[in-house]
A = this chain, B = another copy of it.
Amino acid sequence: MNIKHDKVNVLKTGMALLCSKGYSNLGVDEICKVTGMTKGAFYNAFKSKEQFLIEAVLLYGENNVKRIKSELEPNGQNSAFERLQMFYHKMLKAQPRNNFTGCFINNIMSEMGFVSELVGIESSKEFVKFIDAIVPTVMEAQENGEMNRELDARQITELLHSTFYGVLTIAKSSQNIDQSILTINLLFNNLKPNQNA
């Protein structure tokens, strides 16, 4: 009996696999096995394995932008600066202990950015969208006087998220996030206005 497969669910399951195993280490057979698809169904739904990856990148990006906006929006309790800090802490701590797979876009950028130009371009686009989604909260923190107003908000955001990617990579390799949290905290403290100004 044929099974009706929800493409979005397949992509979401595939994302987790891609995130932990990487693209080259993950076979189409395994994607099919885990999602319960057959090869016929897979290649009916996706033109190729690479196209599957790109669709996963796009879906992840879309959902992540929503998540960013949701977690950073004013909640009546925390200031913009606090929400930003909580946001990055949460993402670091969300990683299961001893199963630290890192961020999907960061991993794909690193593995495929130079191998597949198309994948590189698409994941870069998603990164820019993440930045776009975070910038308003950084601006709010600047207006609050919680962050240095002399700096460009977009530059600050690029710095924050780049550093986040950097510590993620190191944490993924050492399977330890303690240092990552210290590093992110240091950066946040440094982005406060000059205390004695």
Contact = CB atoms under 8 A, between A and B. Distances in A.
Contacts of A162: 163, 166-167, 170, 180, 183
Contacts of A191: 190
A186 interface: yes
A73 interface: no
A144 interface: no
B194 A124 contact: no
A156 interface: yes
Contacts of A120: 172-175
16 contacts: A22-B115, A102-B110, A107-B110, A109-B169, A109-B173, A110-B169, A112-B173, A113-B174, A127-B170, A127-B174, A148-B190, A165-B165, A166-B167, A166-B169, A169-B169, A196-B197
A120 B114 CA distance: 21
B169 A183 contact: no
Interface of A: 20-25, 100-102, 106-107, 109-115, 120-121, 123-124, 127, 148, 151, 155-156, 158-159, 161-167, 169-170, 172-175, 179-180, 182-183, 186-187, 190-191, 194-197
A124 B183 contact: no
Contact of A194 (B24, B127, B197): B197
B173 A124 contact: yes
Nearest to A101: B114
Nearest to A20: B114
Contacts of A167: 162, 166
